[in-house]
Amino acid sequence: MSNELIEFVLVSIALLGIGIYGLAVKRNAIRMLFAVEIIVNAANLNLVAFARFMPHSGGQTLALFSIAIAAAEVAVGLALIIVAYRMYKNIDIADFRSLKG
Amino acid sequence: MADALFLAISVLTIGSAIAALEMRSLVYGSIALMGTLGGVAGFYVMLDSPFVAMFQLAVYVGSIAVLILFTVMLVKRELIFKKIEDPKRKLAGIGLMLIVILALGAIIMDSGIKTITTDSDPVDFREIGGDFLTYYWPALILMALILAGSVMGALVLARREDTIENEQ
Q: Which residue has the higher pLDDT, A39 or A84?
A: A39
Query: What pLDDT sits at residue B100?
Result: 94
Judged by a CB distance cut-off of 8 A, whether residue B7 touches chain A is: no
Closest to A7 (Cβ–Cβ): which among B6, B76, B93?
A: B6
CA B143/CA A56 separation, integer angstroms = 22
Q: Which helix (H) or strand (E) holds A8?
A: helix A5-25
CA B133/CA B51 separation, integer angstroms = 16
Decide if A24 and B26 are in contact by the 8 Å CB cutoff: no
B12: confidence class by pLDDT, cuts 50, 70, 90: very high
Instruction: From B5, B54, B53, select the one nearest A7 (Cα to Cα).
Output: B5
Judged by a CB distance cut-off of 8 A, whether residue B12 touches chain A is: no
| Residue of B45, B83, B123 to mutate when probing chain A, most A C-beta within 10 A | B123
Instruction: From A36, A31, A41, A60, select the one nearest B14 (Cα to Cα).
Output: A41
The structural domains of chain A, ordered by start, are: 5-96 (1.10.287.3510)
> B38 to chain A, minimum CA–CA distance in Å?
11
Lowest mean pLDDT among B9-13, B31-35, B122-126: B122-126
User: Residue B53 to residues A82, B5, B39, B46, B58: CA-CA distances in angstroms?
Assistant: 30, 16, 10, 9, 9
CA B53/CA A60 separation, integer angstroms = 10
CA A83/CA A78 separation, integer angstroms = 9
Give me the mean pLDDT over the B44-59 stretch. Answer: 92
Instruction: From A92, A22, A33, select the one nearest B69 (Cα to Cα).
Output: A33
Q: How many CB atoms lie under 10 A from the CB of residue A56?
A: 13
Q: Read off the pLDDT of residues A4-61 as tens digits, 9 standing for 90 and up.
A: 889 999 999 999 999 999 999 988 888 999 999 999 999 999 999 999 988 788 889 9
Judge contact between B39 and B20, C-beta under 8 A.
no
Whether residue A55 is preceded by a cis peptide bond, meaning omega within 30 degrees of 0, is yes
Instruction: From B27, B125, B37, B44, select the one nearest A39 (Cα to Cα).
Output: B37
Decide if A85 and B74 are in contact by the 8 Å CB cutoff: yes
Phi, psi of B3, rounded to the nearest 5 degrees: -90, 175
Residues of A in contact with B108 (CB under 8 A): 6, 9-10, 13
What's the whole-number average pLDDT of chain B?
87
